[in-house]
Structure 1
Amino acid sequence: MDTQSAQAFDLDARDTTRLRVLQCIRAGGAISRTDIARDLDSSPATVTSACGALLDAGMIREVKAAPSESVQRGRPRVMLEVNADAFAVAGVKVARRAIHVMLVDFKGGEIGTYLHVLKQSCMPARALTHEVRRAVELACAQSGLDMGILAGIALGLPGFMHADSAFMHWSSSVEERNVDFRPLFQEVLPCPTFLDNDANLVAKAEHLFGAGRGLRNFLVVTIEHGVGMGIVLGGELYRGERGCGAEFGHVKVQFEGAVCQCGQRGCLEAYVGEYALIRDASVGRQSDVHKSLQDILDAARSGDALSHEVLERASQILGVALASLVNLFDPEHIVLARSRPKFDNPYTDAMLDALQRNTVQVDAPLPGITVRNLDETMWAKGAAAHGIEMVSILKIRERGAVDAA
């Protein structure tokens, strides 16, 4: 459960119980009222009341247990599961070159995906909101889904933003600073829309579907054009008081160093982000020699000394920075998710070696490290998972208001 988001919606005790029950059913797949009461350490009467409200709202449904799960005599055991048909949700990731959309049902089952190519990587907030609408429209059309039935859209952006208020302090995808997206969402998009940092949504996806599944304390570091991080502590995302926490890409690694896209100097991503590698590998050369990370990797494989040096140095800087995370958080696991193309093993080895050499040495193993190429759908899948959580909270609050009327 996203407790911070639930608090932002100001759920009362009854609605909080309903949300906990719904999340227990979602985690269990198919579960009885008795097992819910046991798992939540709650009274059967309380669970029965909450389930009744969720059934009336169409958010869950009853199913008969499989024969092996039922008692030998008497009525078949009744189980509860999330009603996949209750709502549809869109998860949206805004990248530099495209908008990735994933449509899911209320149970999290994928309905369809869509890639909407962008003509420019940075644009005014209003224009970006219209591009998001267009991308979702096309995704729905491709999947044969009426856009009007969407219950929510969850949008992941790079940068500093306050998820609860949909306020963006800064993003590399938006021309303006300090944008309140909520009125734009209400004006342009057809349903409630929720905003969060894109790396937070990758962390949510890893927590639900990937290397963080079953873990309570782990970190996800994303490296594409810039560098992001998602922090899961105690099983929940940590966003910071202003929504500006976990900005690993903007920790300083060099006093008065290279200019970062955020406007400051010496940030980590100004040395390891894709734009930084292209910049450094092009020093003293024609500006159009390296247009992508793939160009740099190809040049290094062909024996280009500068390209190799840039990749080696960036890998070592990243390894030292990751060691600082281990020293600071002592996490169970770290997921390093790079954008494509895949890095060659020597550069990954250089990063891991720098991490190990710069971590405080104790008589205990280092946290597990997963290094993966980031599948574009993982961003949107995390956004969709966030959308399901937020729609759940919203619908439970609406149901509570109906009951109180």
Structure 2
Amino acid sequence: MVISAVRRASQPSRTEIAATTGLSHSTISTISSDLIAEGILAEAKGFEPAAMKRGRPQVALALEPRAASIVAVVLSLNSLSAAVIDYAGNTMAEDTRRLVTQRMPAEALVSECIAMIRRLIDGADTSAGPVLRIAIAVQGITDSGSRKLLWSPITRHDDIPFADRLEQEFGVPVTVENDCNMIAEALRWRDPLRYRDDFIAILLSHGIGMGLVIKGELFTGTQSSGAEFGHMIHRPDGALCRCGRRGCIEAYAGNYAIWRNARLGDENAEPLADLSDDDITALADAARDHDGPEREAFRKAGEAIGFGLGSMFALFDPAPLAFVGVGATAFDLMEPHVLSAIAKTAGGLHSKAISFDTEPNEVPLKREGAMMRALLHVDQEIFAAGPASRQPATDVA
């Protein structure tokens, strides 16, 4: 509870921690003293408390950056990035590389991840603490145990055991997480007032994904990572999707689908393997400038998203929504059609409660979510358990 309070508040005083946790001042003092002695917390330097009428000045507590480090990896279509991050959340080293993911053998994808992580660890500041956790945010469906990639449009290979291979290489626990789930995790930490108990994060990018939080818990399935919103059926036997099926929401609202409708006018055309952000920006600019196939393509996208959301809201009440990714920069073109479609469904009964927000840059959110997933594991499963439960530092320290 104390570690969690410090991580959420950044540099709280012991009095503030007591107010947050409900623990007594004496208990906070004992626990914080132990954590400082163990090198997990530290008294914040340069902290200037507000003037107090009486009593001793308040001393802020902070996470000790050198206590540990984690590695956050983001694997997306044709892109791999990773960062070594210290216990306080500061980036120590990072790298990004472009890959042709759809042409690479499965082992080559895993090997690229291993090589990048190894380079970053070897090149990180020597003062960094031991690496205690690695989290991978990957575009596609992961298993519910967060061990492997079950299926993804970024590769032609299924069932890639990332966690097993990386654990063999680095000797620390590894999780493999759906990237949209990690976006939701990041939003929860960025804006806990809006994104708290129930909310939805929808990725509008080359593909369409969803991170879903219900009653404060990230939703995952019994066998997979869960909310594959983009592959819900919008129109049976409709447009060709990257997944090989027809009529998916993504086949109308993904970047490749919007481009296909605007430029080719053929829903049966093979989806493009990749599109630049500039391609989508140009389509959006044209749609705002004049009526034509570009504007119609965004209308179809908004309609597909809206009917999908309306079907979801028929099962449970609307929740705050965040649209993330380059497609969110064109959400003004889709929003009227999203709302119109929702209003035509049973979920539209509560449409006045729906609120939208947009965030165009998806990669930092994916990394932040993976980072928090890893750091929280260190907080809860390692440091909170006490010194006796900790494993010796590995060779990746």
Corresponding residue for residue 253 of structure 1: 234
Question: d(CA) in 1 for partners of 2:67 and 2:175?
Answer: 19
Q: For the structure 1 residues 361 and 127, does the alpha-carbon distance in structure 2 shift closer, same or farther, using more than 3 Å as the test?
A: closer
Instruction: Please state if 1:317 is matched with 2:309.
Output: no
Gaps of 5+ in 1: 1-19
Contact 2:87 2:375 (8 Å CA) reproduced: yes
Corresponding residue for residue 219 of structure 1: 200
**For 1:51, what is the secondary structure of its paired residue?**
helix
Bigger mean CA offset, 283-292 vs 339-348: 283-292
1:134 deviates by 3.1
Corresponding residue for residue 157 of structure 1: 138
1:199 deviates by 0.3
1:159 deviates by 2.0
**TM-score, length of structure 1 as denominator length:** 0.79
Q: For the structure 1 residues 359 and 297, does the alpha-carbon distance in structure 2 shift closer, same or farther, using more than 3 Å as the test?
A: farther
Aligned residues: 384
Contact 2:6 2:17 (8 Å CA) reproduced: yes
Amino acid aligned to 2:275? S
Contact 1:278 1:290 (8 Å CA) reproduced: no
Question: d(CA) in 1 for partners of 2:30 and 2:38?
Answer: 13
Corresponding residue for residue 12 of structure 1: none
1:226 deviates by 1.5
Contact 1:340 1:374 (8 Å CA) reproduced: no
Bigger mean CA offset, 385-394 vs 182-191: 182-191
Amino acid aligned to 1:262? C
1:156 deviates by 0.3
Identity of matched residues, %: 25
Corresponding residue for residue 194 of structure 1: 175
Amino acid aligned to 2:207? G
Q: CA RMSD in A?
A: 3.8
Contact 1:100 1:116 (8 Å CA) reproduced: yes
Contact 2:146 2:177 (8 Å CA) reproduced: no
Amino acid aligned to 2:360? N
1:71 deviates by 6.8
Higher relative contact order (CA 8 A, sep 6+): 1
Question: d(CA) in 2 for partners of 1:147 and 1:31?
Answer: 23
**For 1:325, what is the secondary structure of its paired residue?**
helix
1:122 deviates by 5.6
Bigger mean CA offset, 111-120 vs 383-392: 111-120
Contact 2:3 2:384 (8 Å CA) reproduced: no
**For 1:173, what is the secondary structure of its paired residue?**
coil
1:381 deviates by 1.9
Contact 2:229 2:249 (8 Å CA) reproduced: yes
Gaps of 5+ in 2: 392-397
Contact 1:99 1:115 (8 Å CA) reproduced: yes
Corresponding residue for residue 358 of structure 2: 371
Q: For the structure 1 residues 122 and 385, does the alpha-carbon distance in structure 2 shift closer, same or farther, using more than 3 Å as the test?
A: farther
Question: What does 1:286-297 align with in structure 2 at a 5 Å threshold?
Answer: 292=275, 294-295=278-279
**For 1:260, what is the secondary structure of its paired residue?**
coil
Contact 2:383 2:390 (8 Å CA) reproduced: no
Amino acid aligned to 1:72? R
**For 1:196, what is the secondary structure of its paired residue?**
strand
Amino acid aligned to 1:277? I
Amino acid aligned to 2:3? L
Contact 1:278 1:296 (8 Å CA) reproduced: yes
Contact 2:138 2:178 (8 Å CA) reproduced: yes
**TM-score, length of structure 2 as denominator length:** 0.80
Question: What does 1:222-301 align with in structure 2 at a 5 Å threshold?
Answer: 222-280=203-261, 281-283=263-265, 292=275, 294-295=278-279, 298=282, 301=286
Contact 2:199 2:321 (8 Å CA) reproduced: yes
1:259-308 per-position Cα deviation (integer Å, ceiling 9, x unaligned): 43334433221222223334444356998999736446646728694444
Question: d(CA) in 2 for partners of 1:350 and 1:403?
Answer: 54
Amino acid aligned to 2:190? F
Question: d(CA) in 2 for partners of 1:290 and 1:189?
Answer: 33
Contact 1:114 1:138 (8 Å CA) reproduced: no
